[in-house]
Amino acid sequence: MELRTLGKTGLEVSRLGVGLSEIRSTDPSRVAEVLNAALDAGINFLDTSACYGNSEELVGRTVSHRRDEFVLATKAGHVTGGYQGESWDPKTVRDSIDRSLKRLRTDHLDIVQLHTCSVEVLERGEVIEVLQAAKQAGKTRAIGYSGDNEGALWAVESGLFDTLQTSFNLVDQNARLKLFEPAVAQAMGIIAKRPIANGAWGASSTPSSYAADYFERAQIMEAPGQIPEAPDHRILLALGFTLAHEAVDTAIVGTQNPEHMRTNIEWVENRLPIEDAAVAALHERFERLVGERNWRQLS
């Protein structure tokens, strides 16, 4: 599996990472199969959050004995899991970091990210100071922002964060147009979330309720006809598009299915890159539509 240096963090991460929202409430034996298949194949970037149900506990339970084999990222900020407090209060973020360390059964995190907070919260600066203090104390090696649109741009331009996790895929290319260049200029590592557009491209109906907006965009972008030189599988096209961009260090894909994980790995190792003509066609279609329809990043 190809590795990339994640910006100024110095962390070496696999181009394909694992998003861990989907494993919540999954049988631990199945989680162990998915995560061990990923680690065995050389995937070394795992991304979870305090608000992904019991995701952190499942990671700690199933693969903490392999801790030196992966880069571990989590997120903080929301009140979750029975915690009493206020979202985006410094104490909430501080306690969340300590709770994540226990749940994940580790003595350090590699990245702690603020999870989709507003520009107003960022401008107050208090929760950023909590992250900086955690980094200084050795609780995390790097700090990041996870989010889209105005919040993401503020985080990039502030120069205060080591990484940016943001939505990027073939039907949501705003990060390419507005965020990648300034983030690279700040030497930030870039983590692409939703890199396969929630499976919406080429689907006959919306894959899920939360994919409805992606499906609507996909239908509009697909209307002019087939993408030239596109690969023979719609998900391979979507994943290949995201990883065709040099600015993207790692793309996180979530699954509860070990076979899906193995397929994703095989595609990344043996069937990428996709053809430049396909990438260019998707650029052209998005750029033609984004201004007409005022498409923002889909959070």
Q: How far apart are alpha carbons 50 and 80 in whole angstroms?
A: 7
The Cα-based distances of 279 to 55, 194, 235, 282, 295 in angstroms read 34, 17, 14, 5, 19
Residue 204 half-sphere exposure toward CB, CA atoms < 13 A:
0
Here the tokens at position 122 are 């960022």
- Give the CA distances from residue 105 to residues 13, 55, 101, 102, in Å, rounded to whole numbers and listed in that order: 21, 12, 6, 5
Of 52, 145, 210, 214, which one is the catalytic site residue? 52
Give the separation between CA 20 and CA 18, rounded to whole angstroms: 6
Structure tokens at 237: 């096209």
The DSSP bridge partners found for residue 192 are 166, 251
Residues 6+ apart with CB under 8 A from 295: 172, 174, 217, 289
210 is catalytic: no
Q: 224 Cβ partners below 8 Å, 6+ apart? A: 285
Measured CA to CA, the distance from residue 26 to residue 239 in angstroms comes to: 24
Residue positions annotated with a catalytic role: 52
